[in-house]
């Protein structure tokens, strides 16, 4: 079992640069983004993980590279909910997020395709793998 709050949320905080108090997002809010991402990824990639939203856990234990995919998906979902342009006063900072959204989207799509290929290879027998190679 993997704890979303203890293991995945810290990675999410680093990914969105919200890793120093006072935090913009609560652990629970980030956990919900991650949980939503895990469940929506099941549409494109049958990963087999089950989320317990009450305990904020994932079964079975999630390997770190899959945790990274879940963080990437949650980060992308957060980007989709934000406006494409933001302004700051003071030193005047303008940020266009549309390009970043596209980059994250493309990366996520590429990773899912690679995972589907690897999952297909991993379920083959030794004879099937030899034939495939």
Q: What is the pLDDT of residue 52?
A: 97
Q: Which residues of the chain have pLDDT under 50?
A: 123-133
Domain coordinates in residue numbering, the chain: 2-132
Q: What is the pLDDT of residue 10?
A: 97
Q: What is the pLDDT of residue 80?
A: 81
pTM of the model: 0.73
- Both tokens of 109, joined, read 């799509």
How far apart are the C-alpha atoms of 102 and 80, rounded to whole Å?
A: 10
How far apart are the C-alpha atoms of 94 and 69, rounded to whole Å?
A: 29
The Cα angle at residue 9 between residues 18 and 21, in degrees rounded to 5: 35
Per-residue three-class SS string for 48-113: CCEEECCCCEEECCCCHHHHHHHHHHHHHHHHHCCCCEEEECCCCEEEECHHHHHHHHHHHHHHHH
Q: What is the pLDDT of residue 108?
A: 85
Q: What is the pLDDT of residue 97?
A: 60
Terminal CA-CA length for the chain:
34
């Amino acid at each position: 079992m993997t704890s979303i709050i203890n293991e995945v949320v810290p990675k999410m905080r680093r990914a969105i640069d919200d890793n120093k108090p006072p935090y913009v997002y609560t652990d629970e809010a980030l956990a919900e983004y991650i949980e939503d991402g895990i469940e929506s990824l099941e549409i494109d990639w049958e990963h087999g993980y089950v989320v317990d939203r009450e305990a904020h856990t994932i079964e079975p234990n999630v390997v770190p590279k899959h945790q990274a995919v879940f963080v990437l998906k949650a980060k992308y979902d957060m980007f989709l909910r934000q406006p494409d342009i933001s302004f700051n006063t003071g030193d005047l900072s303008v940020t266009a997020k549309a390009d970043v959204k596209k980059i994250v989207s493309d990366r996520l799509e590429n990773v899912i395709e690679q995972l589907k290929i690897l999952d297909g290879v991993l379920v083959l027998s030794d004879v099937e793998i030899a034939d495939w190679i």
